[in-house]
């Protein structure tokens, strides 16, 4: 059923209202509403306030035996009562976010075709070529503001999952609404189903994507071009977030569109802002300035190089020239240290190729002596006990970020980092780890989740009518996020604020993004007298 709001919504009655996720309140419909919307006889007699509904939903959720069952339950709730779903997420973010996003979304993507219940999102295939703009009119909303799109080729650290990757845009947009108050009616998940090279998926009779090898080259580029142009025509106020594209495509698409389309790549830019925020916060623990740090990355893909690019910009703002900043940033990949004259380096790696001999990972640590070690490899256990102990030899407080998702792909666990460093590590991860107690002390590992940044970026861009997303906006986001880490957080070893503060974090980032847009002449809307108040007034509330 098409979504109906405003005056049209008043005409939706009976089972049609109960079957509309946007309009349904379930047992919370009041006596007067039950008369007005012809609901008498269609609901139990008791009227539940939203708090009771939330408690019932939580009890049902917790009754499930496995996280994937909890994921299925939550998506079903989203499909029948949108506001209750977002209320549940917003009020129980620590418990719910790992279920609708990392790490459970990784399993959801792997099993997407097997747990499929209800169509959600928009699918585009090569067979739609020449008609994408026409097909966008099938979407029930006209005021789309936020699009998350993937082609499913590099889902988290799990690789090519084809059309199963639709779970990623669905999960991201749920967080946009719950964490930043962007209305669900303005959100659109999109899957560019261009085939898959995953033979196991293509041999699965339940697989829901097209049964073809991946589209490549000019045909792929032209299909993406048609999609982007069609969005500009159908939804001229929409921000496009590129998600989980393979590194070469991720950089190519960002470079092609960033200056003339409202868009960003969360894997490159969102991850960078969150990681930079964590590094900035860590300087308050280790007692060093950002520009004095030596930082080593294990992994040289889009996430790692995106982080390095933003840190390089931050170091330059702190007073270093570009060359000096890049000299403090080092990369190691499966072929060893990224150095000059090494064959096969991609363009985004070249600025960080140093004129030194190539050595393997642990020897690189010995020679470079980094203060910060950042993992973005998708290789579980890559930060071994020897690595952590080596980092601890020449750092009183070694900073170790194991950012790969999902949890099964983390370079090390929180418990390992603390134990192998005798409790001295400043640790953060991409997926959540629980608190660790070691020698009578409690540690709260920070989760460097992009959800700290991308919802606020989107909210700020929408609020000011941004024409483009600049690098400076991500720098501002990182500074704001780092500034919201309290002394109590740092005392527990956490370099990010508690997730329960996520809506406040998103509002603060949105305001900073909007200010920067007005400062750079990138905003189309007029600047209000009180930016925070104006943005807060626009935020979707899951209450009824």
User: Annotated active-site positions, please?
Assistant: 101, 172
Instruction: Give how far Cα 385 sits from Cα of 99, 194, 399, 417, 419, Å.
Output: 30, 41, 15, 8, 9
Spatial CA neighbour of 78 closest among 181, 175, 156: 175
The candidate with the shortest Cα–Cα distance to 449, out of 244, 274, 297, is: 274
Lookup: tokens for 364? 């690189």
- First-to-last C-alpha distance (Å) of the chain: 21
SS3 (DSSP) at 528: coil
- Residue by residue, DSSP assigns 325-392 as HHTTEEEEETTEE-BTT-TT--TTTGGG-BSS----HHHHHHHH--SEEEE-S--TT-S-HHHHHHHH
Q: Which of 498, 470, 469 is nearest to 484 (CA)?
A: 498
Q: Are strands 187-192 and 146-150 parallel, antiparallel or unpaired?
A: parallel
Task: Kindly report each contact of residues 116-119 with a partner whose C-beta sits within 8 Å and lies 24 or more positions away, as own/partner.
Answer: 116/208, 117/72, 117/75, 117/76, 117/79, 118/75, 118/76, 118/79
Contact 524, 465 (CB under 8 A): yes
- From CA 463, how far away is CA 466, in angstroms rounded? 8
> Which H or E run contains 455?
helix 454-464
Report the C-alpha gap between 492 and 428 in whole angstroms. 12
Backbone angles phi, psi at 158, to 5 degrees: -100, -10
- Residues in CB range of 59: below 8 A, 6 or more apart: none
Residue 509 CA to residue 121 CA, distance in Å, equals 27
Q: Which helix (H) or strand (E) holds 202?
A: helix 199-202
């Amino acid at each position: 059923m098409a979504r109906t709001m405003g005056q049209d919504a008043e005409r939706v009655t009976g089972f049609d209202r109960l079957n509309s996720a946007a309009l349904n309140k379930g047992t919370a419909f009041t006596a007067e509403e039950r008369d007005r919307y012809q609901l008498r006889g269609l609901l139990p007699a008791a009227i539940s306030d939203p708090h009771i509904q939330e408690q019932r939903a939580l009890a049902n959720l917790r009754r499930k035996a496995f996280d994937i069952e909890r994921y299925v339950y939550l998506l079903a709730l989203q499909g029948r009562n949108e506001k209750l779903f977002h209320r549940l997420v917003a009020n129980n973010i620590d418990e719910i976010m790992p279920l609708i996003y990392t790490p459970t979304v990784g399993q959801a993507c792997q099993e997407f075709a097997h747990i499929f219940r209800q169509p959600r999102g928009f699918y585009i295939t090569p067979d739609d070529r020449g008609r994408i703009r026409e097909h966008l009119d099938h979407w029930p909303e006209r005021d789309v503001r936020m699009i998350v799109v993937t082609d499913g080729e590099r889902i988290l650290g799990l690789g090519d999952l084809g059309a199963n990757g639709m779970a990623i845009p669905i999960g991201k947009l749920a967080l946009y609404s719950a964490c930043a108050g962007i209305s669900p009616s303005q959100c659109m998940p999109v899957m560019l189903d261009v085939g898959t090279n995953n033979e196991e998926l293509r041999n699965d009779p339940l697989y829901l994507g097209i049964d073809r090898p991946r589209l490549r080259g000019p045909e792929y580029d032209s299909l993406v071009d048609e999609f982007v142009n069609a969005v500009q025509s159908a939804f001229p106020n929409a921000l496009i977030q590129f998600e989980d594209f393979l590194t070469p495509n991720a950089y190519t698409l960002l470079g092609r569109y960033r200056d003339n389309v409202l868009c960003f790549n969360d894997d490159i830019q969102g991850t960078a802002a969150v990681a930079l925020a964590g590094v900035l916060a860590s300087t308050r623990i280790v007692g060093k300035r950002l520009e004095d740090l030596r930082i080593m990355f294990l992994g040289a893909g889009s996430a790692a190089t995106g982080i390095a690019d933003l840190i390089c910009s931050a170091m330059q703002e702190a007073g270093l020239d570009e060359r000096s900043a890049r000299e403090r940033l080092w990369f190691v990949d499966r072929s060893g240290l990224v150095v000059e004259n090494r064959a096969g380096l991609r363009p985004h790696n070249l600025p960080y190729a140093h004129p030194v001999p190539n050595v393997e990972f642990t020897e690189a640590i010995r020679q470079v002596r980094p203060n910060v070690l950042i993992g973005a490899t998708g290789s579980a256990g890559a930060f071994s006990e020897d690595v952590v102990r080596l980092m601890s030899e020449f750092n009183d407080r070694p900073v170790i970020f194991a950012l790969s998702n999902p949890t099964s792909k983390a370079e090390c666990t929180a418990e390992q980092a603390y134990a192998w460093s005798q409790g001295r590590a400043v640790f953060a991860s991409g997926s959540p780890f629980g608190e660790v107690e070691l020698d009578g002390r409690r540690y709260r590992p920070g989760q460097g989740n992009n959800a700290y940044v991308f919802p606020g970026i989107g909210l700020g861009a929408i609020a000011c009518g941004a024409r483009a997303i600049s690098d400076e906006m991500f720098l501002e986001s990182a500074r704001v996020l780092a500034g919201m880490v309290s002394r109590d957080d740092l005392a527990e070893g956490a370099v990010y604020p508690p997730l329960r503060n996520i809506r406040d974090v998103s509002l603060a980032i949105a305001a900073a993004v909007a200010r920067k847009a007005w400062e750079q002449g990138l905003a189309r809307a007029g600047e209000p007298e009180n930016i925070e108040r104006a943005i807060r007034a626009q935020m979707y509330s899951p209450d009824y």
